[in-house]
C-alpha cells in the first residue's frame, strides 16, 4: 500500500519536475513588430520554419504593427517569461527607440532576455543616376558644397534609413533636407525618378537597382564588401571608416525567461543558421550573418548596449522624436 502510494507520488513528481526539460510543449509565438513581407518579417519566417523542425513545435509568426514596432516590443517585454512569446526585434525597437520615444514603456537593455542575433542587413548609400559624382569621395565633397540644395529620402522619421542618413550628416557636419516617405519602397521609387538625390537604405530593395544601373551604389557602411554587389566599396576604402551602420534583427524573450529555455532557443537558432538552405535564403536577400562568436545571447546583449550608445546621441543631436 505504502509502496503503491510512494510510486504514485514519485510518478506525479516525475511528471511535474521535468516540465522545463519538456519545453516546448505547445506552439511558440514569434512577434514581428512590422508588416508581413518586410526584411524583419522575411528573416523571422526563414528562422521560424527551421526552428519549428528542431524544436518539434510550430513557431507561429504574428505581425503586430504600430508605433515603429514599439507596441509589439512592449507586449513581449510584459509577456509571461515562459519561452512561448518571443520577439524578432531590430535596431529600431531595441536601440533607436530609446532616443525616439521619450515615453517608451520598456528598456531594451534590461527588459529582455537576448537569444540570438539573427541577421543584419547592411546599409548603403545610393545616389540618383545623374548626380554628378563618380564615387563616394566625390559625393562627400559634393554634399559639403551643395548640401542646402540636396534632398535625401527615407522610409519615415526614425526608420533605419533615416538614422543612417542622420549619422552621415553628423559625420560630414552638414544638414541635408530630409524627405520622408511611407516606407523604403516609395523612397526608392522617387530616387529612380530623380525626385530625390540619394538614400541610405538596406541592401534588400536597392541591390537590384544598382545591378541594373538604375541608381549609383556609392558606399557600403560595413567592414567588408557585400558579396552581391562586389563593385560597391566599403566606407573604410572611401576614407570614412567611422561610417558603420547595419539594420540588425535579433530574437528576444521577455526578461526572466529561465536560462535553460534561452539556451534551448539559442541552440535551435544556431542550428537554423548552420543549415545550407537557410543560409542561402538569408544571403540571397543580402543579409550579413553573425559569426560563431556573435551567436551567443551575451553577444546580443552587448550589441544592444553598444547600439543604444551609438544611436541615441545621433537622434538627440538631430532633435528627432517620434512622439
Decide: is 54 part of the binding site for other proteins (CB under 8 A): no
Q: What DSSP letter does each residue of 37-51 carry, written as one string?
A: TSHHHHHHHHHHHHH
CB of 235 to other proteins, least distance (A): 23
142-161: which residues touch other proteins (CB under 8 A)? 151, 156-158
Task: Considering only the stretches 45-53, 116-124, 218-226, 235-243, report the one whose residues sit in contact with other proteins under the rule CB under 8 A.
Answer: 45-53
The helix/strand/coil state of 17 is helix
Judged by DSSP in three states, 222 sits in coil
Q: What counts of helices (H) and strands (E) characterise the chain?
A: 12, 9
Residues 68-107 that bind other proteins (CB under 8 A): 70-71, 74, 100
Stretch of 8-16, 63-71, 229-237, 254-262 contacting other proteins, by CB under 8 A: 63-71
Which candidate, 189, 201, 192, 198, places its Cα nearest to that of 136?
198
Q: Which positions ≥6 away from 281 have C-beta within 8 Å? A: 46
Do you know the residue count of the chain?
Answer: 323
Closer residue to other proteins in complex, CB, 22/193 = 193
Q: Which of 179, 267, 271, 312 binds other proteins (CB under 8 A)?
A: 179
Among 28, 196, 229, 304, binds other proteins (CB under 8 A): 196
Tell me how far the alpha carbon of residue 144 is from its chain's centroid: 30
Min dist CB 212 to other proteins, Å, is 4
163 binds other proteins (CB under 8 A): no
DSSP 86-123: EEEEEHIIIIIHHHH-TT-SS-TTTSEEEEEEEEEEEE
Residues binding other proteins (CB under 8 A): 35-38, 41-42, 45-46, 48-49, 61-67, 70-71, 74, 100, 151, 156-158, 177, 179-183, 185-186, 188-190, 192-193, 195-196, 204-205, 207-209, 211-212, 214, 280-281, 284-285, 320-323
Amino acid at each position: 500500500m505504502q509502496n503503491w502510494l510512494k510510486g504514485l507520488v514519485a510518478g506525479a513528481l516525475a511528471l511535474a519536475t521535468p516540465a522545463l526539460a519538456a519545453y516546448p510543449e505547445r506552439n511558440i509565438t514569434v512577434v514581428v513588430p512590422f508588416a508581413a513581407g518586410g526584411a524583419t518579417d522575411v528573416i523571422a519566417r526563414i528562422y521560424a520554419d527551421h526552428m519549428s523542425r528542431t524544436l518539434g513545435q510550430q513557431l507561429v509568426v504574428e505581425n503586430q504593427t504600430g508605433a515603429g514596432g514599439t507596441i509589439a516590443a512592449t507586449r513581449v517585454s510584459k509577456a509571461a517569461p515562459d519561452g512561448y512569446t518571443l520577439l524578432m526585434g531590430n535596431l529600431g525597437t531595441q536601440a533607436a527607440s530609446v532616443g525616439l520615444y521619450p515615453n517608451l514603456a520598456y528598456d531594451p537593455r534590461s527588459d529582455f532576455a537576448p537569444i540570438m542575433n539573427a541577421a543584419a542587413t547592411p546599409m548603403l548609400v545610393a545616389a540618383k543616376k545623374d548626380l554628378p559624382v563618380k564615387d563616394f569621395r566625390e559625393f562627400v565633397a559634393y554634399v559639403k558644397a551643395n548640401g542646402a540644395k540636396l534632398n535625401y529620402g527615407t522610409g519615415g522619421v526614425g526608420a533605419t534609413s533615416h538614422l543612417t542618413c542622420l549619422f552621415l550628416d553628423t559625420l560630414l557636419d552638414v544638414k541635408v533636407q530630409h524627405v520622408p516617405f511611407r516606407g523604403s519602397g516609395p523612397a526608392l521609387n522617387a530616387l529612380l525618378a530623380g525626385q530625390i538625390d540619394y538614400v541610405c537604405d538596406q541592401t534588400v530593395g536597392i541591390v537590384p537597382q544598382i545591378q541594373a544601373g538604375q541608381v549609383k551604389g556609392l558606399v557600403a557602411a560595413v567592414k567588408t564588401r557585400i558579396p552581391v554587389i562586389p563593385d560597391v566599396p566599403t566606407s573604410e576604402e572611401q576614407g570614412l571608416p567611422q561610417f558603420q551602420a547595419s539594420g540588425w534583427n535579433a530574437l528576444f524573450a521577455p526578461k526572466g525567461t529561465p536560462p535553460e529555455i534561452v539556451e534551448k532557443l539559442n541552440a535551435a537558432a544556431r542550428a537554423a543558421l548552420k543549415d545550407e538552405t537557410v543560409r542561402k535564403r538569408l544571403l540571397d536577400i543580402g543579409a550579413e550573418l553573425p559569426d560563431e562568436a556573435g551567436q551567443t545571447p551575451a553577444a546580443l546583449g552587448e550589441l544592444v548596449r553598444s547600439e543604444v550608445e551609438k544611436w541615441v546621441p545621433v537622434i538627440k543631436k538631430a532633435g528627432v522624436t517620434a512622439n
